[in-house]
Amino acid sequence: MTSRYRATQDDASRAELVNPLSPRRRTVVKAAAAGVVLAAPLAAALPARAAASAPAFLHGVASGDPLPDGVLLWTRVTPTEEAVPGSGLGPDTEVSWVVARDKAFTDVVARGSTTATAACDHTVKADIRGLAPATDYWFRFSAGGADSPAARTRTAPAHDAAVTGLRFGVVSCANWEAGYFSPYRHLAARGDLDAWLHLGDYIYEYKSGEYAARGKVVRPHAPANEILTLADYRIRHAKYKTDPDLQALHHRAPVVAIWDDHEFADNAWSGGAVNHTEGAEGAWSDRKAAAQQAYFEWMPVRPAIAGTTYRRLRFGKLADLSLLDLRSFRSQQASTGSGSVDDPDRTITGRAQLDWLKSGLAASDTTWRLVGNSVMISPFVVGSLSADLLKPLAKLLGLPQEGLAINSDQWDGYTDDRRELLAHLRANAIRNTVFLTGDIHMAWANDVPVDAGTYPLSASAATEFVVTSMTSDNLDDIVKVPEGVVSAVAAPVIQAANRHVHWVDTDRHGYGVLDITAQRAQMDYYVVSDRTKQDATSSWARSYRTRSGTQKVERTYDPV
């Protein structure tokens, strides 16, 4: 195998492989102008212990976007006490990294260095190449005599490998102020993940107290204000990266992440957001650019097509994963009852992304075609919910409370795109397409019907597994009743009105584990005992699978 290496962020980066044939360099993330002023709450983005005079790695390390020959490494160095996130302060600092086959770092396979600068908020990315496929590696960073924690990562299988199985953790909607991130801890403790998928809302943008746990702040985030500027977004990302459970999972497996709205602002679209007041909160274009820059600085994600998060990864001949960006190109959400949800000029994907998705699904030669999808694609109507349940459901979905048929922030609000995509799957006999979804703060297991009105007499084009929120309020939290009460009443009504829905849990918080073999793709749903408790336990709730070739979901009683 030809050894090669790519370093990121700085044209002065120095890198070498052990016994290299031809080292190579490429700048992937360009430094952006700092241009920010020191804000009062910056220190809150750091752990309780302040940075000493020597450099420190206070926000952990992470890896992401695994390839057969490489993986993206990430960290943030605090070079001096005043160089806190978002400050724009601190000296240029040389940061080196080392990658080894063992935790003791006796079998080193790659090493290199770059310069962390205030222009990138002292974040560092290293795009390592020349590694072996389907292999565990250990890595760490160093600066000024200080070492980061050592972390494990794993490369993807070779492109043509006959993979027998894959296992991914699946999470979404992690709101700091609403609780603790115990799902990350429980996923990290498994030790059997090839990677983990974050389907959006890795951070939340609200001011302190605006969106917490049944209105109660479990732990305050930083800054206290709603985040609007580049400094604000950097501080909020930094605060999240101090969470020990999040750090633990980043230290155990590579992440594959996409953004949804709260990485920007609630119900974001290409030209604005529900939670953005043009003028009073600055220009949306500036806020969007700041949020995007901070995201790529603070996340181990490669900027993809057009600088967004839509991209495709492959895991041998067993599965490929198409990751969608459903915020950067979408039209503004339609108002309920306006009739515009069927307007072919409105889009959730944008023309280029939809064409990219369709061509990739058609060309795929893997057994499974996974789609990382931030909002639910399965159609959803409410049915005959009582007023006391209808109103909180409308609040959760961001819809008028006087009666509704759709959630216009989901694919239901962009039916022409959905119709075109599902027709494409049917016309080209594309099988084994599985949508993996977050956003809605509920757990679902769905068939994806071509015509929901006639289902199940008509065909299902795909299946969908939706994971619930880690901490963000769901229906029982909004109604403020004991967990399980709303699901007992609402779930049967939802399923009666939506015959493609096999299961919905409206009330609990947790995560999923997706287990894939050539015969089936299975989602095991786990719930946590209490999101407001740091030591919350985890338990298995349900499992659903889709068998190869069926395009339908079925319950299984055998979690893996």
Element (H, E) at 501: strand 501-505
pLDDT band at 39 (very low <50, low <70, confident <90, very high): very low
Q: In this structure, which amino acid lies at residue 2?
A: T
State the average pLDDT over residues 88-113.
98
Tokens of 120: 């990138």
Structure confidence at residue 51 (pLDDT): 43
Domain edges within the chain: 14-154, 166-556
State the average pLDDT over residues 312-319.
98
pLDDT band at 34 (very low <50, low <70, confident <90, very high): very low
Percent of the chain with pLDDT over 70: 86
Its CATH class, for the domain covering 14-154, is mainly beta
> Was domain 166-556 assigned CATH 3.60.21.70?
yes
Q: How many CB atoms lie within 10 A of CB 216?
A: 11
Structure confidence at residue 10 (pLDDT): 38
- Fold agreement (14-154, 166-556): no
pLDDT digits (tens, 9 = 90+) for 278-312: 999 999 999 999 999 999 999 999 977 777 899 99
Q: Are 132 and 68 in contact (CB under 8 A)?
A: no
Q: Are 203 and 263 in contact (CB under 8 A)?
A: yes
pLDDT above 80 for 85:
yes
Structure confidence at residue 403 (pLDDT): 43
Nearest CA to 224 among 241, 206, 238, 242? Answer: 206
Structure confidence at residue 479 (pLDDT): 85
State the average pLDDT over residues 464-488.
93
Q: Which residues of 140-155 are buried (b: 16+ CB within 10 A; e: fewer)?
A: bbbbeeeebebbebbb
Q: pTM score, two decimals?
A: 0.90
Structure confidence at residue 9 (pLDDT): 40
Structure confidence at residue 164 (pLDDT): 97
State the average pLDDT over residues 205-212.
97
pLDDT band at 462 (very low <50, low <70, confident <90, very high): very high
Return d(Cα 503, Cα 466) in angstroms, integer: 10
Return d(Cα 282, Cα 425) in angstroms, integer: 42
Return d(Cα 228, Cα 283) in angstroms, integer: 10
507 vs 407, higher pLDDT: 507
Q: In this structure, which amino acid lies at residue 196?
A: W
Percent of the chain with pLDDT over 90: 78
Nearest CA to 508 among 525, 481, 484, 536? Answer: 484
- Mean pLDDT, rounded, of the chain: 89
pLDDT above 80 for 35:
no
Structure confidence at residue 256 (pLDDT): 98
Structure confidence at residue 493 (pLDDT): 86
Q: Are 10 and 126 in contact (CB under 8 A)?
A: no
Residue 535 buriedness (CB in 10 A; 0-12 / 13-18 / 19+) = exposed
Please state at what angle helix 387-397 crosses helix 485-497, rounded to 10 degrees.
80
State the average pLDDT over residues 196-225.
97
Structure confidence at residue 342 (pLDDT): 83
pLDDT digits (tens, 9 = 90+) for 226-262: 999 999 999 999 999 999 999 999 999 999 999 999 9
pLDDT band at 37 (very low <50, low <70, confident <90, very high): very low
pLDDT digits (tens, 9 = 90+) for 142-196: 999 999 999 999 999 999 999 999 999 999 999 999 999 999 999 999 999 999 9
Tokens of 558: 């055998």
pLDDT band at 29 (very low <50, low <70, confident <90, very high): very low
R_g over Cα of the chain: 23
pLDDT above 90 for 17:
no
Residue position matching structure tokens 């490998």: 161
Structure confidence at residue 397 (pLDDT): 61
Strand order of the sheet with strand 520-528? 123-128, 70-76, 61-67, 255-257, 195-198, 166-171, 510-516, 520-528, 538-547, 553-556
pLDDT band at 43 (very low <50, low <70, confident <90, very high): low
pLDDT above 70 for 385:
no
State the average pLDDT over residues 359-376.
98
**103 HSE (CA, 13 A, CB side):** 6
210-to-111, 272, 435 alpha-carbon distances in Å: 45, 20, 31
